[in-house]
């Protein structure tokens, strides 16, 4: 099957709006993924559960991402690409509607798991659709354009929906995502060219990509190495209040710095990936490790903390997009599965980074320690990735 349409007229007429439509789906997903963290106190009060217990709904969403990505992609590989993308954003709408309607803790846990299921699969099919409407040499920028929606959500979608949830009730934030998902579905039908599925695909052939060494190396590198980003980001609030010494009211500015960095990184990643995917991954891990080590000395100052968080946001997006393209290449005919697996890996990294940071903080090493430990995770991710390259060259 030809995944890249060679007809210039198709590209010229559809590419810009198609990528915007696909990116809007990423914006909706990014909003629902991160708004829960901003509304945790309101949700906790609304369902009558403690904040630590309510926090488990974040893990439920992440579990949905990890499970849904390979499962949905392998089952849906034969389906027309655009139809699959539309179905996934409508499933996102259903999951968020269930979240908004949940009457208690158990229902909310199930709803957040369901909302997470289409996450990775959507980015998998959206990446293929974006790549199909541009020339091959611009594939990296097209995939980055889709992922840009996720980054913009951290800057605009999450703050806006958090404000909405705080003033109109936490459920309103999830109703907003429902609206975004429905609008995305309509735009996808209007702007994205129809693309056939793979009639030869089967669950066995799709999941067979998991046995490919380069897929396993790239996924493992993302699971561990990207944990370095979350080791720092998970504890930004106590870091800047306890180490940098600013008031808690200033924390949103540091979160905004991370979001701006993510947007800049998404733009840079497309250019860098079109230049050289492998060097982008290697360079990203190296610089991330250096910055995280340097965070020990930089974060006590306001300027140093802002710069550190901004650069970590940039590197996070660069690595996420470059690893996604690397997985698409490594997966061969199962490109969509490769792209989807990247999001499963990043959600595992989210949990790993936060857990490792928690351990060193609980051990009395302070709030600067997660950044240094995160550098170790980035270093291990780099080592795994380089090992994969060495194995590839030998074979």
Interatomic CA distance for residues 114 and 281, integer angstroms = 31
Cα–Cα distance between 258 and 334 in angstroms, integer?
33
Q: For residues 6 and 75, state if they share a domain.
A: yes
pLDDT for 292: 96
Q: What is the band of 122 on the pLDDT scale with cuts at 50, 70, 90?
A: very high
Report how far residue 191's alpha carbon sits from residue 124's, in angstroms, rounded to the nearest whole number. Answer: 18
Q: Closest Cα partner for 85 from 53, 50, 124, 37? A: 124
Any idea what the CATH number is for the domain that residue 273 is in? 1.20.1250.20
Closest CA to 110 of 146, 177, 147, 56: 56
Task: Check pLDDT > 70 for residue 8.
Answer: no
Is the per-residue pLDDT at 88 higher than 80?
Answer: yes
Across 335-358, average pLDDT: 80
Average pLDDT over residues 187-214: 76
196 and 259, same domain (yes or no): no
Q: What is the DSSP letter of 366?
A: -
Q: 194 and 46: one domain? A: yes
Judge residue 208's burial from the number of C-beta atoms within 10 Å of its C-beta, 0-12 exposed, 13-18 middle, 19 or more buried.
middle
- Say if residues 304 and 297 touch (Cβ distance below 8 Å): yes
Structural domain total, the chain? 2
Residues 148 and 261 in one domain: no
Q: Are residues 245 and 324 in the same domain?
A: yes
> In whole angstroms, what is the distance from residue 55 CA to residue 76 CA?
31
Q: Mark whether 176 and 300 lie in a shared domain.
A: no
The Cα 319–Cα 342 span in angstroms is 11
Q: Do 392 and 319 share a structural domain? A: yes
Whole-angstrom distance, CA of residue 247 vs CA of residue 251: 7
**Residue where a domain terminates, one of 181, 200, 219:** 200
- pTM of the model as a whole: 0.80
Domain hosting 271: range is 202-395
Q: 318 vs 208, 285, 374, CA distance in Å?
A: 27, 10, 17
Return mean pLDDT, the chain: 86
In 3D, which of 389, 393, 392, 358 has the Cα closest to residue 374? Answer: 358
Q: Based on the domain organization, do 206 and 135 belong to the same domain?
A: no
Q: What are phi and psi of 236, to 5 degrees?
A: -60, -45
The answer, yes or no, to whether residue 6 has pLDDT greater than 50, is: no
In contact, 367 and 243? CB cutoff 8 Å:
yes
Q: Are residues 368 and 301 in the same domain?
A: yes
Residues 159 and 131 in one domain: yes
Could you read off the pLDDT of 240-295 as tens digits, one per residue? 888 899 887 777 788 888 889 989 998 898 888 888 889 999 999 999 999 999 99
Residues 224, 327 share a domain: yes
């Amino acid at each position: 099957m030809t995944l890249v349409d060679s007809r210039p007229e198709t590209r010229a007429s559809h590419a810009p709006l198609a990528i915007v439509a696909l990116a809007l789906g990423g914006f909706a997903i990014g909003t629902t993924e991160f708004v829960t963290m901003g509304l945790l106190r309101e949700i906790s009060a609304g369902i009558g559960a403690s904040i630590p217990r309510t926090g488990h709904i974040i893990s439920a969403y992440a579990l949905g991402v990890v499970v849904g990505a390979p499962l949905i992609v392998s089952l849906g590989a034969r389906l027309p690409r655009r139809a699959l993308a539309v179905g996934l954003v409508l499933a996102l709408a259903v999951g968020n509607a269930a979240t908004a309607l949940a009457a208690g803790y158990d229902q909310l846990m199930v709803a957040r798991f369901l909302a997470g299921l289409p996450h990775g699969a959507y980015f998998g099919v959206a990446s293929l659709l974006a790549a199909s409407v541009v020339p091959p040499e611009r594939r990296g920028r097209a995939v980055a354009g889709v992922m840009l929606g996720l980054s913009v959500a951290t800057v605009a979608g999450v703050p806006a929906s958090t404000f909405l949830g705080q003033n109109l009730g936490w459920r309103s934030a999830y109703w907003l995502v429902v609206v975004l998902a429905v609008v995305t579905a309509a735009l996808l039908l209007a702007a994205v060219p129809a693309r056939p599925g793979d009639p030869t695909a089967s669950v066995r052939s799709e999941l067979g990509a998991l046995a490919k060494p380069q897929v396993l190396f790239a996924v493992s590198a993302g699971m561990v190495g990207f944990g370095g980003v979350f080791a720092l980001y998970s504890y930004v609030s106590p870091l800047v209040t306890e180490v940098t010494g600013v008031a808690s009211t200033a924390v949103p500015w540091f979160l905004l710095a991370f979001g701006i960095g993510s947007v800049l990184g998404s733009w840079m990643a497309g250019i860098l990936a079109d230049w050289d995917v492998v060097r982008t991954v290697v360079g990203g891990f190296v610089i991330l490790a250096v910055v995280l080590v340097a965070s020990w000395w930089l974060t006590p100052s306001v300027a140093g903390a802002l710069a550190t968080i901004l650069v970590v946001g940039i590197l996070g997006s660069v690595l996420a997009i470059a690893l996604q393209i690397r997985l698409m290449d490594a997966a061969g005919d199962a490109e969509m599965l490769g792209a989807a697996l990247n999001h499963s890996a990043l959600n595992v990294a989210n949990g790993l980074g936060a857990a490792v940071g928690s351990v060193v903080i609980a051990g009395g090493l302070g709030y600067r320690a997660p950044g240094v430990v995160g550098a170790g995770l980035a270093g291990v991710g780099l080592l795994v990735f380089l090992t994969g390259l060495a194995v590839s060259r030998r074979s």
